[in-house]
């Protein structure tokens, strides 16, 4: 299992909309997450940053993320959520959600 923590900015004027969208995530989007071997997925808010955590139980994260990006329901979802977000300065070129480096783990 691989733990993934990602960060993205949320536009202050879009925060209420972002919260409202996540009160009813479409079932096909949730299903695609599961089929992409993503579990224990949560999003937290700190200031103007969204912090996502999930556990990946598959064998090829990049391929599973590509399958998500190709999924029509997920693409429609991202059309709604994307305008609420903005990459953080720490994001690599072309990266939307910046992936944080794990420094410590106590199990």
pTM: 0.91
14: left (phi over 0), alpha (psi -120 to 50) or beta: alpha
Least confident of 17-21, 82-86, 90-94: 90-94
Q: Which domains does the chain have, with CATH numbers?
A: 2-99 (3.30.70.1090)
Tokens of 58: 């598959």
SS3 72: helix
Q: 27 Cβ partners below 8 Å, 6+ apart?
A: none
- In this prediction, residue 16 carries a pLDDT of 97
Read off the pLDDT band of 4 (50, 70, 90). very high
Answer left, alpha or beta for residue 16, where phi above 0 means left and psi between -120 and 50 means alpha.
Answer: alpha
């Amino acid at each position: 299992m691989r733990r993934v923590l990602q960060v993205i900015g949320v536009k202050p004027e879009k925060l209420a909309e972002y919260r409202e969208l996540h009160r009813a995530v479409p079932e096909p989007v949730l299903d695609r997450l599961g089929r992409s071997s993503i579990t224990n997925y949560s999003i937290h808010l700190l200031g103007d940053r969204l912090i996502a955590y999930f556990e990946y139980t598959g064998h090829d994260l990049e391929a599973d993320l590509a399958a998500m990006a190709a999924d029509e329901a997920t693409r429609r979802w991202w059309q709604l959520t994307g305008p609420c977000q903005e990459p953080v300065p720490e994001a690599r070129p072309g990266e939307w959600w910046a992936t944080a480096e794990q420094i410590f783990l106590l199990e």
